[in-house]
Amino acid sequence: MIAERDGKMYDVIIIGGGVVGSSIARELSKYDIKVLLIEKEDDVASGGASKANSAILHAGYDPVPGTLKAKLNVRGNEMFDELCKDLDVPMKRVGSLVAAFSQDEVDSLYKLYDRGLKNGVKNMSIISSDMVKEIEPNINDTIVAALYAKTAGIICPYGFVIALAENAAQNGVEFVFNQEVVSIDREDDVFRVKTQDSEYFSKYVVNAAGLYADVINNMVSDKHFSIHPRKGEYLILDKEEGYLANTVIFQVPTKMGKGILVSPTVDGNLLIGPTSEDIFNKEFRKTTYKGLEKAIKGAKKSVEKFNERKTITQFTGVRAVPDVDGEDFIIGESDVKGFINVAGIESPGFTSSPAIAEMVREILKDAGLKMAEKDNFNPKRKPVIRFNELTDEERNELIKREPAYGKIICRCETVTEGEIIDAIRRPVGAKSIDGVKRRVRAGMGRCQGGFCSPRVLEILSRELNVDPLSVTKFGGNSNILTAKAKEYVANLYKELLKSEV
Ligand SMILES: Cc1cc2nc3c(=O)[nH]c(=O)nc-3n(C[C@H](O)[C@H](O)[C@H](O)COP(=O)(O)OP(=O)(O)OC[C@H]3O[C@@H](n4cnc5c(N)ncnc54)[C@H](O)[C@@H]3O)c2cc1C
């Protein structure tokens, strides 16, 4: 067995390339240890909640004081300024409002404010309707008061995960994609992690598999738990509607979540949603007429003025709700030595992720992993060129140096060929149409890829040196093209002749 392990032996294997797995990977990349991240999809932030959520950096007044959620939310929120600077990820501290539209709801604001104080949230206040109107001129006139939290922010969720993964890879973490962990066993203090077509070995395993963290835990531990899916549907409106919200406008939360919000996105669109509905199928990702109608109706309680006909796309995110007592994250070494669960990471999981990574680092240390700091850890990701943010002068200089930046591929979002090539060539680079879209926004505008997708496909095929027929939308069997037109017609003709004979 030892010989078989050669080359596939790691100190730590992380299962799952969402924001949690990728944050942990980046944190561990600061140390002189061998780390592997295994992801079942073809990319990070591709298979779970980290690509489809509200993208809010919560201030931290919502979780119950004393819980991990409360502690990690507030700590995580604080960490984003430095992280986003180092990783060159757009983030805006726009602040959030919990809007009360009745006196009963105002009472809830005081409860949230109190919780916030206990959790250590800074820069919070309860403000009058006049002050709310100053901040949000388009909020409905029925507003009574709001809890204003200045530390809340908005971010591009997949952009952040991609940046974490890139930086972790730059610092030596290995990634394997399209590998689904199907079994784990332990022999001589070493875990054997099997995927559908390979196996890897490690002394420690970190389970960050999101909705499937129960399945992974139950492969190893006798202490089983389960996770059920709860979906949330959203709409994204055209940038023309982006002016309608300056901050994240929440409503008073209920047991099912933080309610329906109206928020600007970091790219200037308007986001409305999510609904909250328990479902049975973890893979259910469709939006429904009923769900979207509910999101629209709910959001109109806060801001009536938006025009839902300006919707450019819609999506569903699925929460990983653990069926255990309490409503906290499940983070810690399990009953199996060296096997660490990071499960049930519902909201505010995104905000908490950098703090979760610090906590996991300490758990690994306590579990006996020797972690010497690297001398050459580089916290900075190579900056990304965003053509549409450059001045004319900068653009001209860039095009002279690299002519591929002179070819616009996505007209809606002004994305150039140079940016797409860079997204493919970077560490943990894009391999599919959606991978490119999540990195550079080609296909995220009004036409939703109607014009640029064929050209992105050509670039992917050329850069990855693969047949255009094998380029996918998001990995697996999501191929875009099924046959070459001429061959297709010739085959059809042959079949036709055969049937006539
Ligand atoms: C509707 C909604 C709104 C939210 N809004 C916010 C918000 O505004 N702010 C906030 O802070 N948080 C928010 N959250 C929570 C946040 O999105 C999650 O806490 C976070 O994304 C969880 O990250 P994760 O890495 O644990 O899981 P995921 O992102 O789901 O990643 C898990 C990964 O594991 C992989 N995987 C699963 N099984 C296997 C296997 N067998 N082998 C290999 N890989 C596997 C999956 O493919 C996936 O990529 C929201 C969540 C939802 C659903």
The verdict on the CB of residue 56 being under 6 Å from ligand 1 is yes
The verdict on the CB of residue 322 being under 6 Å from ligand 1 is no
**Cis omega (within 30 of 0) for bond into 354:** no
Catalytic, 58? Answer yes
- Would you give per-residue pLDDT tens digits along the chain (501 residues)? 555 566 689 999 999 999 999 999 999 999 999 999 999 999 999 989 999 999 999 999 999 999 999 999 999 999 999 999 999 999 999 999 999 999 989 999 999 999 999 999 999 999 999 999 999 999 999 999 999 999 999 999 999 999 999 999 999 999 999 999 999 999 989 999 999 999 999 999 999 999 999 999 999 999 999 999 999 999 999 999 999 999 999 999 877 667 899 999 999 999 999 999 999 999 999 999 999 999 999 999 999 999 999 999 999 999 999 998 778 999 999 999 999 999 999 999 999 999 999 999 999 999 999 999 999 999 999 999 999 999 999 999 999 999 999 999 999 999 999 999 999 999 999 999 999 999 999 999 988 998 999 999 999 999 999 999 999 999 999 999 988 877 777 887 888 888 766
213-246 burial string, b = 16+ CB within 10 Å, else e? bbebbebbbeeebebbbbbbbbbbbbbebbebbb
- Residue 54 gets which letter from DSSP? -
CA of 115 to the centre of ligand 1 (A): 25
CA of 317 to the centre of ligand 1 (A): 9
* From 42, 50, 328, mutation site for ligand 1 pocket: most ligand atoms within 8 A of C-beta: 50
123 CB neighbour count, 10 Å cutoff: 13
**CA 273, CA 229: separation in Å to the nearest integer?**
17
Q: Model confidence over 254-309: pLDDT tens digits?
A: 776 678 999 999 999 999 999 999 999 999 999 999 999 999 999 999 999 999 99
State both tokens at 338: 């060296």
Instruction: List the residue whose alpha carbon is closest to atom 14 of ligand 1.
Output: 347
Q: Are 468 and 433 in contact (CB under 8 A)?
A: no
Alpha-carbon dihedral sign for residues 149, 136, 94, 249: positive
Residue 273 burial (C-beta neighbours within 10 Å; 0-12, 13-18, 19+): buried
Choose among 322, 329, 383: nearest CA to 356: 329
**CA 301, CA 320: separation in Å to the nearest integer?**
27
**CA 484, CA 486: separation in Å to the nearest integer?**
6
CA of 19 to the centre of ligand 1 (A): 7
| Whole-number pLDDT of residue 259 | 82
92 CB neighbour count, 10 Å cutoff: 14
370-405 burial string, b = 16+ CB within 10 Å, else e? ebeeeeeeeeebeebbbbeeeeeeebeebbeeeebb
CA of 16 to the centre of ligand 1 (A): 9
Instruction: List the residue whose alpha carbon is closest to atom 46 of ligand 1.
Output: 47
CA of 89 to the centre of ligand 1 (A): 19
The verdict on the CB of residue 269 being under 6 Å from ligand 1 is no
Catalytic residue chosen out of the listed positions 51, 58, 231, 439: 58
The verdict on the CB of residue 203 being under 6 Å from ligand 1 is no
The torsion angles phi and psi of 239, rounded to 5 degrees, stand at -60, -25
